[in-house]
Amino acid sequence: MTHLLLSSPMYQETAALVIGFLFVMGVVFYPFRDNSTHSLAAWASLKSWIFFGPFLFILAGFSYPWPIFLLGLFGISACKGFFQMTGMYHRSWFVWVTYFFVAASTYMIYQRDTTYYDMMPMLFLGTLSLIPIVRNSSKRMIQYIALSLMGFVFFGWSFLHLGRMLLWEKGVFIVVYVFILAEIADNASVIGSLLLGKHKVASLISTRTTYEGLLFSVALTTLAAWGLRHLLPIRTEPYWLAAGLATSIVGVFGDLFLCTIRRDLGIKSSGLFIIGRGDIIDRMDKLIFIAPVLYYVVNWLGIPERL
């Protein structure tokens, strides 16, 4: 067990800087909130973080290993939202097996058991394949298995690579760093598309994502990655550059992936979450791609582990 981060001067300074920055951004963005539906969405997202940010810092500031279990609860909540979106929530066998494996993956991180954690997707698929046999049913089982596997891999196993980052030196600071950059990348993409956007990345999937907005997001997020590099245990260029590029470039695929699901299902939103737009899945859509990519890139660069 480590000391309570809430009592760390560095953690308190970081929380104050981030929350203060959110309030300043809120004041600056407030006059432009009604310009379009996209600016309304960006304002709602910013507003939700102004209210939710302090609670996130408080929860993340508890002693290790509680942040790992908190991420596990987020993963289970996101899987629940995904099942509700896809109409699978009433398929209790698949739902509870998914919850169990997200919880088991969280426990594997806590135990530092990387071997079994890496095996979880295959173990999960093997377990799912037994459900039709046990239930003696074949109707729509391919669909249920595929959707359950998608939910677990993206919102459980993939997202929980943030938990693996918690095992690194200054792990909580790194996870907070990634959360901040992901939100900056999201809103920078919206603002850049509003001001400069002309060429859509995938016009039939998302009308708000443009190449100009993406470039603006890459520039601003990389600048923020440099400005917040004190949160990293190693502050040299490869590390903050990897974080800035992963959150801005790789993260957009998470956003487009969720848009693809919603387009296919014919829904605009998967639910309400705190104050602002979307639900917990909206807060995680970029992170399900960012977390594993950044984890393996930084791990390849080399990073000291927690003692």
**Per-residue pLDDT tens for 129-147?**
999 999 998 888 999 999 9
Which amino acid belongs to residue 93?
W
Average pLDDT over residues 210-221: 90
Examine the domain organization and report whether 83 and 225 are in the same domain.
no
Q: Please report, to the nearest 10 degrees, the dihedral formed by the alpha carbons of residues 160, 161, 167, 168 taken in order.
A: -150
Examine the domain organization and report whether 176 and 58 are in the same domain.
yes
Give the pTM: 0.82
Count of residues making up the chain: 307
Say whether pLDDT at 183 is over 90.
Answer: no
The burial of 240, by beta-carbon neighbours within 10 Å (0-12 exposed, 13-18 middle, 19 or more buried), is given as buried
Examine the domain organization and report whether 85 and 2 are in the same domain.
no
Higher local confidence (pLDDT), 101 or 49: 101
Percentage with pLDDT > 70 across the chain: 81
Examine the domain organization and report whether 182 and 291 are in the same domain.
yes
Check residue 18 and give its pLDDT.
73
Domain holding 193, by residue range, is 1-62+170-307
Examine the domain organization and report whether 76 and 215 are in the same domain.
no
DSSP bridge pairs for 168: 305
Say whether pLDDT at 220 is over 70.
Answer: yes
Say whether pLDDT at 273 is over 50.
Answer: no
Average pLDDT over residues 165-187: 85
Examine the domain organization and report whether 105 and 147 are in the same domain.
yes
The DSSP symbol for 2 reads P
Examine the domain organization and report whether 73 and 46 are in the same domain.
no
| Total number of domains in the chain | 2
Q: What is the pLDDT of residues 16-53, one digit of tens each?
A: 777 777 777 777 667 766 666 656 666 666 676 677 66
Q: Please report, to the nearest 10 degrees, the dihedral formed by the alpha carbons of residues 75, 76, 78, 82 taken in order.
A: 130
Average pLDDT over residues 157-179: 88
- Residue where one domain finishes, among candidates 122, 146, 167: 167
Examine the domain organization and report whether 56 and 71 are in the same domain.
no
Check residue 143 and give its pLDDT.
92
Examine the domain organization and report whether 196 and 306 are in the same domain.
yes
Check residue 141 and give its pLDDT.
92
Least reliable range by pLDDT among 35-44, 88-97, 291-300: 35-44
pLDDT band (50, 70, 90) for residue 221: very high
- Residue where one domain finishes, among candidates 146, 167, 188: 167
Average pLDDT over residues 256-282: 67
Question: CA 280 → CA 45, 73, 288, distances in Å?
Answer: 12, 11, 12
Least reliable range by pLDDT among 152-161, 219-228, 235-244, 252-261: 252-261
Examine the domain organization and report whether 292 and 271 are in the same domain.
yes
Examine the domain organization and report whether 150 and 19 are in the same domain.
no
